[in-house]
Structure formats: structure tokens, C-alpha cells
Amino acid sequence: MQRLTNRRILLGITGGIAAYKSAELTRLLKGAGADVRIVMTPAATEFITPLTLQALSGHPVHLQLLDPEAEAGMGHIELAKWADLILVAPASADFIARFSAGMGDDLLTTLCLASDAPICLAPAMNQAMWRDPRTQANAHKLTSQGVTLLGPGVGAQACGDTGPGRMLEPEELAELAAEQFEHTVLSGKRVVITAGPTREPLDPVRYISNHSSGKMGYALAEAAADAGASVKLVSGPVMLPVPPRVECVQVETAEEMLAATLDGIEACDLFIAAAAVADYRPVAIAEHKIKKGSEEIMELRLVKNPDIVATVAGLETGRPFTVGFAAETRDVIDYARSKLARKRLDLIVANDVSNPEIGFNSDDNAVTLVSAEGETGLPQTSKRQLARQLIEQIAQHYLKSTS
């Protein structure tokens, strides 16, 4: 069973006797398809060696905040952004206390602070420590802030006591980790997403295109599938793997993208146009390679491409809830708002591509979701995290429109 295919799990291990079970947990998460990176606190290394976990996870274990070698590979902020889920198992009383106090005094607490990913803790400690009012207050504070506690279980403890404080078994933890990805906000819904650039051929060897990487559209497809939707991704040429559980139709030109989008659109509930479609294409495609001539200036005749998102939004029957993107370099919200009206969209995702840290080709993005009623800003984060937040927001707007 590959329920965690391509999921990126950051497994934090803190100092407690249950740390020996984290080896089995790593094996189970890997077996379910997850990519697992491990961070250990110094105390954890007293209970189990980093070498064991390196061998099981297939990656070097991260141990210190200020480790120039590790930072040269994947730095702590990169690691925080990389994770789809942070699972701390075992989570000691000390870790829970430091994390609930908002401290960043080691690598693991710092990662937890720096990440937008959901965080799950599997507490493991002596029953009296777990019952202690200070530990209880810390745990409650964390759950009220959105952290999920997995366990603890009740039973015999390594110290000879019996009671609450046992770490859940690795099988249970792997199962609960998989459940964290099972959202249902779009279950039973059909979503079509366009992504990437289009290529408009000039002759058999040349084309007009743009720098769109497709990362945002692919991340949206993955997030929509995670939210329970059945997803068709209509993709221009990009270098990205198709996300699991997503049907992908590969196209090159805007006209092909339009045809693939319209094929079956009446059965679709939501359409998200994230592709960077070429506005124009050559009037004619030369049959043979265009030869260099003696003239200094060469002129190309171009004709306007169909506007895919406006075509879908203008459908008289079977029109899905339609979301467009507006990549702008100035007056971002104003232009987005006029595009929303002109193309008759339900929502538009506005982003400022003049900032090189976000937008085209970068791994991060920051956007504002604009509707006729208002705006919601989603601050800079990885495109994968942002896609999750966007799908959540889009789903809320869509569900409101159907109720």
C-alpha cells in the first residue's frame, strides 16, 4: 500500500527510550512511499544512532542547527519548506515544553517554527511526567494552536510504571501520518487545471514560448487530488513529474490546450487556469526550417490565440466555477480585478512577478486571491504549501457558490 507516495515527512526524534521505535517507524513510512528526512535532538542520539536512521531513511540525519556542512546540503529553512508534514516521535516532555514556549534553541524546534507544514507530536514519557499539570498545559496550548497530538497510549512503561505516556506503536503512527493527508473538502468533485507554458511553432524546429515552469499548476493539481477531487491536468511542456492520482493530458499549443480543456468540461465542477498561455501564435507554420536571409530585420506575423479561461467562463451550459491567474508587475490588484470582470471569472489569483523571489520559475510564491467581494492575501511560502492554502480557499468559495 503506497498511501504516502511522494509525501515529504520530516521525522523529528527527541530523547526518550521510545526513540528505538523510530527506526521501525522510518521503515514503515518509507515502505508506504514517503520521502523521510530525519532530525534528531542531541538527547535522541543517546538512545539510537544517527547511522541507523541514515541507513533506513536513505539520507544523512540532521543533528545541529549550526552545522555548515548540513546547511550546504539542505539548510534548515529549506528543510522546513520541504516538509509536507512534521512528525515528532517520540516527543519528550522537554521538547513539548520548549516548543509550546515558542523556543528555537535547537534544530528541531527551529524547523517547527519555520515550517507551514502541519505538525504532529507523538508524546512519550513517564506517566507522572505526562500527567504533570505543566506538561498538560503545554500540550493543550499546542493543540489549541493547531498541532495534532498522536497519543500517548496507555500501558506498561519502560520504567516499570503503568499509565498514560507510552508512544503509540509505529504501525499506528504510520497510519495516522497517512490520515493527515486525507482531506475531503473536494471529494467527489471534478477539477480541471491548466499548467505550464504553451509552445507555438514557427517552423519544424522553432517555437515561441515563455519561462513558465508549471510548478504552481502542478502543485495545485496535487493539492486538489489530496483534497479528494478527481483531477485532470492539461499541461504544456514542462519538466515535472505528474502528481500521483492525477490524470495528465500533455499538449503543446494554446489551441491544443483549449481543445483538451473543453473535452468533457461540462462534467467538471471547478476549472483553474494556471497555464501561461502564449497570447499570440504565428499566422502560419513554415513547412521547412526558415532559412537565414540577407535582410537585417525579419518580421513575424502573429494571430491572437483563443483565451481558454474566458472561453470556459463564457460557456452557456455546463460552466464550471472558474478561477484564473493574473501575473502582473505593477498595480497587481487593480489589473487582477479588471481581468476578473472582463473574463467573467469567479476568482482570480493575483501575483506580483516583478519580485524575482516569487512567481515564474521560482519555488516560492505569494498571492492575493481576489473575488468580487474582497481579497485574501496568502504570504510567501513554497508553491506546494501555497497550493494547499489556495485549494482550501477556492473550495470554500466554490462550496459557498453552490449552497
**Site for ligand C5P, rule CB under 6 A:** 194, 254, 273, 275, 277, 305, 307-309, 324-326, 339
Contact 344, 394 (CB under 8 A): no
Tracing cell 532530525 back to the chain, one arrives at 39
Query: Of 325 and 398, which CB lies nearer to ligand C5P in the complex structure?
Result: 325
To the question of whether residue 325 is assigned a binding role by annotation, the answer is yes
Output the smallest distance, CB 239 to ligand C5P, in A.
Answer: 19
Residue 303: burial class (beta carbons within 10 Å; 0-12, 13-18, 19+): exposed
Q: Distance between the two ends of the chain, CA-based, in angstroms?
A: 36
Active-site residue identified among 112, 120, 159, 268: 159
Helices 21-31 + 50-57 axis angle, to 10: 10
To the question of whether residue 308 is assigned a binding role by annotation, the answer is yes
Amino acid identity at 262:
L
Contact 212, 196 (CB under 8 A): yes
To the question of whether residue 309 is assigned a binding role by annotation, the answer is yes
To the question of whether residue 289 is assigned a binding role by annotation, the answer is yes
Output the smallest distance, CB 254 to ligand C5P, in A.
Answer: 5
Is 159 assigned a catalytic role?
yes
Query: Of 186 and 312, which CB lies nearer to ligand C5P in the complex structure?
Result: 312
- Is 293 in a helix, a strand, or coil? coil
Query: Of 124 and 309, which CB lies nearer to ligand C5P in the complex structure?
Result: 309
Contact 238, 196 (CB under 8 A): yes
CA distances from 109 to 95, 100, 166, 343 (A): 8, 10, 22, 46
Output the smallest distance, CB 345 to ligand C5P, in A.
Answer: 8
Output the smallest distance, CB 300 to ligand C5P, in A.
Answer: 18
Contact 48, 90 (CB under 8 A): no
Output the smallest distance, CB 374 to ligand C5P, in A.
Answer: 20
Query: Of 100 and 194, which CB lies nearer to ligand C5P in the complex structure?
Result: 194
Contact 89, 108 (CB under 8 A): no
Contact 85, 116 (CB under 8 A): no
Buried b (16+ CB within 10 A) or exposed e, 270-285: bbbbbbbbbeebbeee
Output the smallest distance, CB 192 to ligand C5P, in A.
Answer: 11
Query: Of 150 and 326, which CB lies nearer to ligand C5P in the complex structure?
Result: 326
Query: Of 32 and 251, which CB lies nearer to ligand C5P in the complex structure?
Result: 251
Element containing residue 247 per DSSP (H, E): strand 246-250
Give CA–CA dist 103/114, Å, rounded.
Answer: 11
Helices 93-100 + 133-144 axis angle, to 10: 50
To the question of whether residue 343 is assigned a binding role by annotation, the answer is yes
To the question of whether residue 279 is assigned a binding role by annotation, the answer is yes
Active site residues: 159
Residues tagged in the binding site annotation for CTP: 279, 289, 306-309, 325, 339, 343
